[in-house]
A and B are shown apart, each in its own frame.
Chain A
Amino acid sequence: MSDVADRVKKIVVEHLGVEEDKVTENASFIDDLGADSLDTVELVMAFEEEFGIEIPDDAAETIQTFGDAVKFITEAS
């Protein structure tokens, strides 16, 4: 697993309080990991800080799964 994926997973585990093995490629933050809509906003904020990138609102809306997040951040950073 890439370095980006590891760091994203760490943030997701910490923020949502879920088991690491639940955070799979296709795991949806809301449907599978118990996030509410505000959690997803906070996750995006945490990603921005961890990776020093800016994630615009329209892009943030497309980040639904762990895989989406890793893909977006890998391309952006």
Chain B
Amino acid sequence: MFDLTGKNALITGASGGIGGDIARALHGAGATVALSGTRVEPLKALADELGDRVHVLPCNLSDPQAVEALPKQAAEAMGSVDILVNNAGITKDNLFMRMSDDEWQSVIDVNMNATMKLCKGVLRGMMKARWGRIVNVSSVVGAIGNPGQANYAAAKAGMVAMGKSLAYEVATRGITVNAVAPGFITTAMTDKLTDDQKTSLLKQVPAGRMGESSEIAAAVLYLASPEAGYVTGATLHVNGGMAML
């Protein structure tokens, strides 16, 4: 249904579970993909799996200069960036009263500030092309909060509000800016939870199971598609019903 043939997509955090599946989904729909992330090995493995129409662009999003260079590198490698998926994210959990300035700042820097800079870096090309898709991978935590994650929740909510403002500004240029907000998804991050923790988490989820990263990727694919051209400033919640927003 969704055809991205001829579109070029930059995906951050592609070395992770969700980012990898987002890359697979966009690539499967015909897009050329630039895989960005901090860990080179998984990026290369994914590139090998995908075969053609793929570029590996390692980038540490906590390094401002590397962030600034990334959109340019992606445009050079692919010819343009038509789709930007801001998926990369880090956590540094701590109780609010114990949270250090560094724990706060580094999560804001990588999750929110890098998103802003990458959006800025790709907009010029999208404005000229009169077509663009920006999909920010937020989190249910950005909407409902979570103990121990004040920094992460603030950054994820910030991405959404920033995206809405940007969506207003560029809507007339055929550029949409949306967010996907995953709930509990089976990834390396949630594998660390004990069975007891998982059981108690799942009590909050009407669907009674964790989500799969491919289910997040499907939502991103929709928002990146030509068919979603009238959807902008939206947040698509993919959380098994744990928060019906």
Contacts and interface: CB of A to CB of B under 8 A. Distances in A.
Given A36-B172, A42-B128, 6 more contacts: A38-B169, A38-B170, A38-B172, A41-B127, A42-B127, A45-B127
Contacts of B124: 45
Interface in A34-62: 36, 38, 41-42, 45
A42 B129 CA distance: 12
A10 B124 CA distance: 20
Contacts of A36: 172
B174 to A, nearest CB: 12
B173 interface: yes
A1 to B, nearest CB: 27
Interface residues of B, number: 7
Which 9 residue pairs are nearest across A and B when measured between Cβ atoms? A42-B127, A45-B124, A38-B169, A38-B172, A38-B173, A38-B170, A45-B127, A45-B128, A41-B127
A38 to B, nearest CB: 6
A49 B172 CA distance: 22
A42 B172 CA distance: 13
A48 to B, nearest CB: 10
A41 B126 CA distance: 13
Interface string B165-187: 00001101100000000000000
A42 B124 CA distance: 8
Contacts of A41: 127
